Amino acid sequence: MKVLISFLFLCLLSFHTYAVEATHGMVLFGQEKLMAYHLPMYHKIHNKQVVLEYSLSAELKTKLLSHMTEGQFLTFVPAPFDLEAFLLKPHALVGDVYAGHFEKEGVVVMENVTLDNVKVLYQRTLIKPNAQANHYLLFGTPSDLYEVHLLNGGLQVDHILKASVNASDLATVNLTNYAMNTYSPVISEELLNDKEESSIELFYEVPCRRRHCDTVTKKLKVTAEKTYFKDDVM
């Protein structure tokens, strides 16, 4: 019995060792779909590249977007929380919104803001970089699209660009049926530059009654319109 109690105590101790609450700063982006990008670092507790979707009340959303002006990015500092537990069971986040980087002379523009209905769109554990190419994933909507630089390969830079898609593609493809967060990313030898055009392959599984359905692919031209946020990973 004593052995069992000791074992359970060690298990609880081990859990509490890794259940660590910390400050996880984020970049807020997107106007049609509100999104947040966790600013990662290459060590435990912070070594997760994460993109979230969230919602705000109409009043708060209007106020937030009024600060997201041309050339101005926003960051968010929520109250400390356990990131590992959060990714398993997302919950609302409460914190302050900064115009600019919260660690680099950013200015608080909204206090005690609650990000509601939080959903994890993408998550990846950072490991030692082992590739040269720079990969980007698409997030957002066809009319409010962003390219997010994936880490673990190429340059270790947090990079979010406002992007657009070719008008002719929008006319011929119902993009809402395709995976906008596709795992066949935009690939570039260097970080994408403003106004640089690239292509990405979107996948869509056609509904059918057969056991195995065919997958339709579509090459989509994507233009990196303008950098929204760029900073070296710490």
**CA-based nearest residue to 34, from 14, 17, 56:** 56
DSSP character at residue 191: P
Is-contact 34 28, C-beta < 8 A? yes
**pLDDT at site 188:** 64
pLDDT block averages, 10 residues each, the chain of length 234: 48 53 93 96 88 96 93 95 94 97 95 96 82 78 86 82 76 49 55 74 53 62 88 86
* pTM, rounded to two decimals: 0.80
**pLDDT at site 191:** 75
**CA-based nearest residue to 57, from 88, 92, 27:** 92
- Type and span of the H or E element at 60: helix 58-67
Distances (CA, A) of 119 to 23, 38, 87, 90, 202: 19, 13, 9, 6, 22
